[in-house]
Amino acid sequence: MKNLIRAFVAISVVSLILIIAINRLNASEGFSGGNTLTVYNWGDYIDEELIDRFEEETGITIIYETFDSNEAMMTKVQQGGTTYDVAVPSEYMVEKMKEEDLLVELDYSKLPNVKYLDERFMDLAFDPGNNYSVPYFWGTVGIIYNPTLLPEGKEITGFNDLWDPELENKILLIDGAREILGMGLNSLGYSLNDTDEDHLQEALTKLKELTPNVKAIVGDENKMLMENNEAAIAVGWSGDARDIMWENENIDYVVPEEGSNLWFDNFVIPKTAQNVDAAHQFINFMLDPEVAAQNTEYVSYSTPNKEALKYMPEDMVNDERFYPEPELTERLEVYENLGKQHLAYYNELFLQFKMYRK
């Protein structure tokens, strides 16, 4: 009998140890719930002091993971192996995730700080009524340039300026099909969401004519190269431009006169979420004006939180390169979800362009 009792106790102890180990493993793998929240965001896209502050104020532990593309984020959410509670997709990916029934509808009774968001950035076509998303940061795709490295008297006001033969081997391009095909389309007066194959072929032909001026097609390296005066021009995002300008006072940024992309990154709650209440708490915390102001100063992209502007440096808020007037933002375009077939065609043309350079 004693042996039976000892065996029972031993099994109970082992079972308890296994349960604790599994819970810890689940937490480390993002299987959140209870007092744990798993957040999935772009790299270097939050002031980590705010994560600590949220944890201290709420007692909720944040497991923070990062991704480097919307597509990578979407794949992991679809797989469902990690139970993400909050994710930060861009606008076209919000639309795609909605279509695939991957998002939880937001409960606005738990998001009172939404009232601080600028109405210009709400109720947009990718999520009418903001049923599934609220904006986190926004910005533009434009031209980052160093006037001291340009031919004398050369001004940069739009994409078409980049085809000047005097700019041979001086330009960096983003390694992104939507951005670069969009640049080609905009330079011809077409929409950056155009799916007309003749227009896209025309854009490809024009991009091929740009190749003598292209120094490299790069990712995040564009910041280091521009900071170190190794290129005169880069087509890039406004937030990157601001980062580069902190490091190199000669750098300037312009939103192209032909038009360009107005983008949004957004908070959503995936259906994998195990802690929906805490997800709402976190989103509402990040929408607090003072929190949003601190986060914006760290990240450098533009905040959609109009109340946060009151807590930010005036020179930052009044810089029209990053907070342009509504007249400009109204003529910029948000990326639309083109669907698999059209997106595959964009990627094919962009690959042709990159191969042509070689």
* Three-state secondary-structure class, residue 216: strand
- pTM score, whole prediction: 0.81
Read off the pLDDT band of 19 (50, 70, 90).
Answer: very low
**pLDDT over 70 percentage in the chain:** 90
55-62: long-range contacts (C-beta < 8 A, 24 or more apart)?
A: 57/285, 58/278, 58/281, 58/285, 59/35, 60/35, 60/36, 60/275, 60/278, 60/281, 60/282, 61/27, 61/35, 61/36, 61/37, 62/36, 62/37, 62/38, 62/282
Would you state the pLDDT for residue 34? 67
Calculate the average pLDDT of the chain: 90
Which DSSP string corresponds to 86-153? EE--BHHHHHHHHHTT-BPPP-GGG-GGGGGB-GGGSS-TTSGGGSS-EEEEEEEEEEEE-GGGSPTT
Among 77, 90, 13, which residue's Cα sits nearest to residue 40? 77
Contact 255, 140 (CB under 8 A): yes
Q: Which of 20-34, 46-60, 93-107 is least confident?
A: 20-34
> Which pLDDT score, from 0 to 100, does residue 31 have?
43
DSSP state of 272: T
What's residue 89's pLDDT?
Answer: 97
Judge whether residue 18 has pLDDT over 60.
Answer: no
Backbone angles phi, psi at 188, to 5 degrees: -100, 0
Contact 263, 140 (CB under 8 A): yes
Looking at residue 32, what is its pLDDT?
A: 46
pLDDT at residue number 5: 47
> CATH for 31-132+265-325?
3.40.190.10
With contact defined as beta carbons under 8 Å apart, do 149 and 123 qualify? Answer: no
Can you give the pLDDT at residue 17? 44
For residue 291, give Cα distances in angstroms to 29, 33, 246, 295: 28, 24, 22, 6
The Cα 265–Cα 212 span in angstroms is: 33
Pairwise CA distance, residues 183 & 137, whole Å: 22
Q: pLDDT digit string (tens) for 183-225?
A: 999 999 999 999 999 999 999 999 999 999 999 999 878 899 9
In 3-state terms, the chain is what percent helix, strand and coil (to 5)?
Answer: 50, 15, 35
Q: What is the CATH number of domain 139-261+332-357?
A: 3.40.190.10
Residue 242's nearest CA partner among 135, 333, 323 is 323
Q: What is the pLDDT of residues 342-358, one digit of tens each?
A: 989 999 999 999 998 76
Looking at per-residue pLDDT, the higher value among 241 and 34 belongs to 241
Long-range contacts of 244-250 (CB under 8 A, 24+ apart): 244/144, 246/300, 247/223, 248/146, 250/146, 250/147, 250/148
pLDDT of 179 above 50: yes
Confidence of residue 33 (pLDDT cuts 50, 70, 90): low
The confidence band for 4, taking pLDDT boundaries of 50, 70 and 90, is very low
Which range is least confidently modeled, 203-212, 250-259, 327-336?
327-336
Say whether pLDDT at 1 is over 70: no
Q: Is the pLDDT of residue 16 over 70?
A: no
The DSSP H or E segment spanning 57 is: helix 48-58
- C-alpha closest to that of 134 among 312, 282, 326, 350: 282
Q: Three-class SS of residue 348?
A: helix
Residue 305: DSSP 8-state: B
Residue 123 has a pLDDT of 96
- Give DSSP secondary structure letters for 179-209: HHHHHHHHHTT--TT---HHHHHHHHHHHHH
Please state the rounded mean pLDDT for residues 314-334. Answer: 89
**Contact between 166 and 263 (Cβ < 8 Å):** no
pLDDT at residue 302 tops 50: yes
| SS3 category, 67 | strand
Calpha distance 64→79 (Å, rounded): 18
Domain(s) of CATH 3.40.190.10: residues in the chain: 31-132+265-325, 139-261+332-357
The Cβ-side half-sphere exposure at 141, using a 13 Å CA radius, reads 27
